[in-house]
Amino acid sequence: FLCDGNPKESSPFINSSSASDVEKSQQYDGKNMALFEEMDNSPMVSSILSSLANYSNLPQGSKEHEEAENEEGAPSLGTLMGVYLPCIQNIFGVILFLRMTWMVGIGGVFGSFIIVFMCCSTTMLTAISMSAIATNGVVPAGGSYYMISRSLGPEFGGAVGICFYLGTTFAGAMYILGAIELLLIYILPQAAIFKMEGLEGADMEAAMLNNMRVYGTIVLSFMATVVFVGVKYVNKLALVFLACVILSILAVYAGVIKTAFEPPVFPVCILGNRTLISKGFDVCAKVIERDNGTVTTKLWKIFCDSEFLNATCDEYFANNNVSEIQGIPGVSSGILAENLFGYYLEKGDFLEKRGISAMQDPDAPITNSNRYVLADITSFFTLLVGIYFPSVTGIMAGSNRSGDLRDAQKSIPIGTIAAITTTSIICLSDFRFGEGVNGNLVIGTLAWPSPWVIVIGSFFSTCGAGLQSLTGAPRLLQAISRDSVIPFLKVFGHGKANGEPTWALLLTASICEIGIIIASLDAVAPILSMFFLMCYMFVNLACALQTLLRTPNWRPRFKFYHWALSFLGMSLCLSLMFICSWYYAIVAMVIATCIYKYIEFAGAEKEWGDGIRGISLSAARFALMRLEEGPPHTKNWRPQIMVLVSMDSEQNVEQPRLLSLTNQLKAGKGLTIVGTSVVGTFLNNHAEAQKADQSLRKLMETEKVKGFSQVVISSNLRDGTSHLIQVGGLGGLKHNTVLVSWPRTWKQVEDNLRFRNFIEVVRETTAASMALLVPKNIAAYPSNGERFTEGHIDVWWIVHDGGMLMLLPFLLRQHKVWRKCKMRIFTVAQMDDNSIQMKKDLITFLYHLRIDAEVEVVEMHDSDISAYTYEKTLVMEQRSQILKQISNDATCILYCTPVCPVRNQSNVRRMHTALRLNEVIMKKSKEAKLVLLNMPGPPKNRMGEENYMEFLEVLTEGLNRVLLVRGGGREVITIYS
């Protein structure tokens, strides 16, 4: 029964068919199930031991080539083995053992407490945010990268994922450097390749760094080989590494308790108040009594020129006494009160014991400095923060194993928060003996029963952590590569047949070697701090955004979170980045920004329902509501264009250069809507509309037009176009300008309806107070790939209609196609105008508008421009047949033929206006790259529509590119700031 785990199959009553037997069977099954559940909730010792024996600190995906029995089966890790212990093992690391005591000695108890509290608070707040995200649905393999990318989108996910990968990689370098430091300083100093004996100062430091580089490279190569050949061996040693960490911590606390009753003998020799290096002498005294006489010691010989009592000695040595103090005074010695405040040193400063007086001449030269303990690094508060922070990282070790957890939504919050609480308490209370120590020796301990427990335990712990970093980092890179969000990383998504990320491992080892070449643990630690803090910052940001946006999908099971806590955690992460190292922080942000922009422009598009889309929606809604408060000010006006295009029978755009022109006008950064109409009904022609929409989107992408496409289905094109003009846009984000191509075949009978639709567009835009842009001969307009190296954009300013004619050339010249073109403005003066004064006024006006253009005033008779001046250009009462008589009328006028029919004098006058203006424009602007003209208003009477079209034809005849512009009746440009 217990072996099978199936009480019903083991029941003796299962084959009975009587009612009583069935009832007995149900009672029996109920009792057995209750017993089974009770035993399941209270695991036996054998189950715990079995879990410990199979303990692994590798992330999901690292066990592909372990034994087959371990490859298959459902996730089985619980809170203790799956989250708590991995987090403990990753948090307790090399910094805790090698730098914690030094930090306390330099920063003092208060300063160290602030650093530890600040760092632990940051990780705790991050863990709370991470718990909320992790319990908001299933988190597959990928851990923190998966959570960030699915919460903030592929751009942020890829950028932060790479930062987290780099942090994990540099963490491997830090662990290796820590292991080498332990080996060469504490375990086997004689193993140094570059000998340090007899060297001092910079020479000794250089030799140590070279040793670190050589041994670090060797160890890195060995570890990378182990990971490549057999990850299962790393996995099997995980329990050993964990045991080393736990035993070391327990040994420290046992030693602390022991020192309270029996302080260890650990003498430190002091000359005056300066700490002496113990090498070179055996007795901490200047002289000793021997054979009823006073003789000098080896220490005397170091500072004096002979061994005799009348020798000439170093002035500081002569003026100060030698004393011996206990380096580890014990808990009850009062050393805590003495070392409450920090004492930061410059590199090369003497390590002095406060509380002991010394006699020294400040003007005397310093000699024998190599005999004292000197500060080997310039210390300050922010440096300590940067060096210490890596000791509290590792909080995501549990979430990285989410795919292996039996109940990830329960285990990740409990295990992570419990691990952080445990380690924070230990770190806040773990002030032990350190080297150097602020002139004050801090609370310390020799680990019980031997100091080698800490040394050996720390060494194996750092080796294990290094292996785990080299195992986890390539898999994180592989996960990012397989998501295809960063195209150039795709090669690192491949590996061996069993899934081992070979190429990713090679890149990881190469980046890790950079940290090894740096060789300094104190220099590498702030680098990985930046990348981890970047990752933690975005975890908090993701939680805060999801909470504030209140998206329906945001339903985390973990309830003990709040957006304010997430913002506090994010602020702490950002602050710590600049506190640790402002220049490293900037570099990390630049790297993340470059990756973000690369993914945005070149990466594969992913739709993960991220929070950035949600915040964009909320921001858009807020902005739209603000825009509804009133019309935009003239200074904020920009052309928000509705581009009306027509489609052929295959639903392809007939005038693609319209979108090229739209792209060239994009300097206004306004709204762009490309719209078209499909004839039919919505039910019958929906597929055609979708095809037309896809065609529009494709062309917009080709022409790099940032905007929206809109397709309407209507019973006829005229109504469809009218609907687009009326309902395009949303609220305050609505088009104010319509761009439509000139119907070049309007004279053909089959296109009669098209030019009438065109005139209706002119009427509707006028009624709606919208601006209208009509490019004539659109096929001759330049594409976005063309460049004009010279030429002019000529503006014929005849009627002031809000300044559109001034603004459009300015916008065009912001684009690379038109950038080299110069702007010329022609205005028309009537006979009674002062042309000279008009030119001066116009130059002044353009100066205030900040527009650079040449100005020319053209004189014409009043009758030549009367049609423009009074906006009654083509108010015709004749029927359409009169258009056919225009050419005959012109002939009669030219030759004074007496047999001409009765002429309409107003029509002839308007045609004369068009001819005269065209003649002047051709004379001045025939070679211009673009001519902009005021577009007269449409006829009120529909009987004169043909004449209106003929007037515009005559007006623009012979010009290659013409842009007819009709303002919307409001000012769009101003001289004021």
Q: What is the mean pLDDT of residues 178-183?
A: 90
What band does 879 get if pLDDT is binned at 50, 70 and 90?
very low
Question: Residues 346, 350, 353, 357: what is their CA dihedral angle, to the nearest 10 degrees?
Answer: -120
Distance CA 139, CA 764 (A): 55
pLDDT for 13: 29
Same domain, 840 and 968: yes
Q: Give kind and range of the element (H or E) at residue 713.
A: strand 708-714
Same domain, 856 and 752: no
Asked if residue 812 belongs to a domain, the reply is: yes
- Name the percent of the chain lying above pLDDT 90: 11
Buried-exposed string 465-492: b where 16+ CB fall within 10 A, e elsewhere: bbbbbbbbbbbbbbbbbebbbbeebeeb
Q: What is the mean pLDDT of residues 743-767?
A: 83
Q: What is the mean pLDDT of residues 114-140?
A: 87
| pLDDT winner (highest mean) among 264-273, 655-664, 915-924 | 655-664
Q: List pLDDT tens digits, range 5-32.
A: 333 333 332 333 344 443 444 443 444 4
pLDDT for 889: 42
The CATH number given to whatever domain includes residue 490 is 1.20.1740.10
Which range (510-524, 727-741, 894-908) has the least confidence?
894-908
pLDDT at 161 over 80: yes
Same domain, 488 and 460: yes
Classify burial at 143, counting beta carbons within 10 Å of its beta carbon; exposed 0-12, middle 13-18, buried 19 or more: buried
What band does 500 get if pLDDT is binned at 50, 70 and 90?
confident
Higher pLDDT, 841 or 45: 841
Of 339, 437, 460, 346, residue with least CA distance to 99: 437
Contact yes or no for 532/390 (Cβ under 8 A): yes
Q: Give kind and range of the element (H or E) at residue 676.
A: strand 672-679
Residue 109 makes CB contacts below 8 A (sequence gap 6+) with: 336, 339, 340, 341, 431, 442
DSSP assignment of 399-464 equals GGGGGGBTTHHHHHHHHHHHHHHHHHHHHHH-----SSGGGS--S--PPSS-THHHHHHHHHHHHH
Average pLDDT, the chain: 77
pLDDT at 424 over 90: no
Asked if residue 333 belongs to a domain, the reply is: no
Classify burial at 701, counting beta carbons within 10 Å of its beta carbon; exposed 0-12, middle 13-18, buried 19 or more: exposed
Distance CA 275, CA 371 (A): 9
pLDDT for 139: 66
Please say which residue of 781, 800, 826 terminates a domain.
781
What band does 904 get if pLDDT is binned at 50, 70 and 90?
low
Q: List pLDDT tens digits, range 281-309.
A: 888 888 888 878 888 888 888 889 888 88
Provide the terminal-to-terminal Cα distance of the chain, rounded to the nearest Å: 87
CA 790 to chain centre: 42
> Helix 521-549 crosses helix 582-602 at what angle (to 10 degrees)?
50
Same domain, 366 and 410: no
Same domain, 255 and 286: no
Where do we find the tokens 């090399």? 94
Domain that holds residue 773: 634-781
Phi, psi of 971, rounded to the nearest 5 degrees? -70, 135
Nearest 5°: the CA angle 744, 748, 749 is 140
> Helix 945-956 crosses helix 882-895 at what angle (to 10 degrees)?
50
| pLDDT winner (highest mean) among 212-221, 677-686, 934-943 | 212-221
pLDDT for 220: 95
Same domain, 702 and 799: no
Same domain, 837 and 822: yes
Same domain, 805 and 931: yes
Q: Give kind and range of the element (H or E) at residue 829.
A: strand 822-829
pLDDT at 421 over 70: yes
Asked if residue 7 belongs to a domain, the reply is: no
Asked if residue 225 belongs to a domain, the reply is: yes
DSSP secondary-structure letter at 636?
Answer: G
Contact yes or no for 508/470 (Cβ under 8 A): yes
Q: Number of structural domains, the chain? A: 4
pLDDT at 526 over 80: yes
Higher pLDDT, 43 or 466: 466
Which range (96-110, 234-248, 310-324, 876-890) has the least confidence?
876-890
Same domain, 398 and 361: no
Asked if residue 336 belongs to a domain, the reply is: no
pLDDT at 902 over 80: no
Which range (154-158, 291-295, 420-424, 906-910) has the least confidence?
906-910
pLDDT at 353 over 60: yes
> Helix 143-152 crosses helix 611-627 at what angle (to 10 degrees)?
20
Q: List pLDDT tens digits, range 692-731.
A: 999 999 999 888 888 889 999 998 888 888 989 888 877 7
Same domain, 355 and 399: no
Higher pLDDT, 313 or 199: 313
Q: List pLDDT tens digits, range 363-394.
A: 777 888 888 888 888 888 888 898 888 888 88
What band does 905 get if pLDDT is binned at 50, 70 and 90?
low
Tokens representing residue 973 in the block = 């440009």
The CATH number given to whatever domain includes residue 797 is 3.40.50.620
pLDDT for 444: 42
Asked if residue 756 belongs to a domain, the reply is: yes
- Name the percent of the chain lying above pLDDT 70: 78
What band does 484 get if pLDDT is binned at 50, 70 and 90?
confident
Which range (131-135, 160-164, 831-835) has the least confidence?
831-835
Of 434, 284, 270, residue with least CA distance to 353: 270
Of 240, 227, 97, residue with least CA distance to 172: 227
Same domain, 129 and 243: yes
What band does 396 get if pLDDT is binned at 50, 70 and 90?
confident
Asked if residue 755 belongs to a domain, the reply is: yes
pLDDT for 66: 41
Q: List pLDDT tens digits, range 577-624.
A: 998 888 889 998 998 888 888 887 776 566 666 666 666 777 777 777
- Radius of gyration (C-alpha) of the chain in whole angstroms: 42
Tokens representing residue 412 in the block = 């990740």
Amino acid at 227: V
Q: List pLDDT tens digits, range 625-657.
A: 777 666 666 666 778 889 999 888 788 888 889
Same domain, 564 and 689: no
What band does 509 get if pLDDT is binned at 50, 70 and 90?
very high
| pLDDT winner (highest mean) among 621-635, 658-672, 710-724, 745-759 | 710-724
Three-class SS state of 59? coil
Tokens representing residue 843 in the block = 């130059």
Contact yes or no for 230/471 (Cβ under 8 A): no
Asked if residue 834 belongs to a domain, the reply is: yes
Classify burial at 899, counting beta carbons within 10 Å of its beta carbon; exposed 0-12, middle 13-18, buried 19 or more: exposed
Q: SS3 breakdown of the chain: % helix, strand, coil, rounded to 5?
A: 55, 10, 35
Three-class SS state of 320? coil
pLDDT for 213: 94
| pLDDT winner (highest mean) among 475-479, 522-526, 802-806 | 522-526
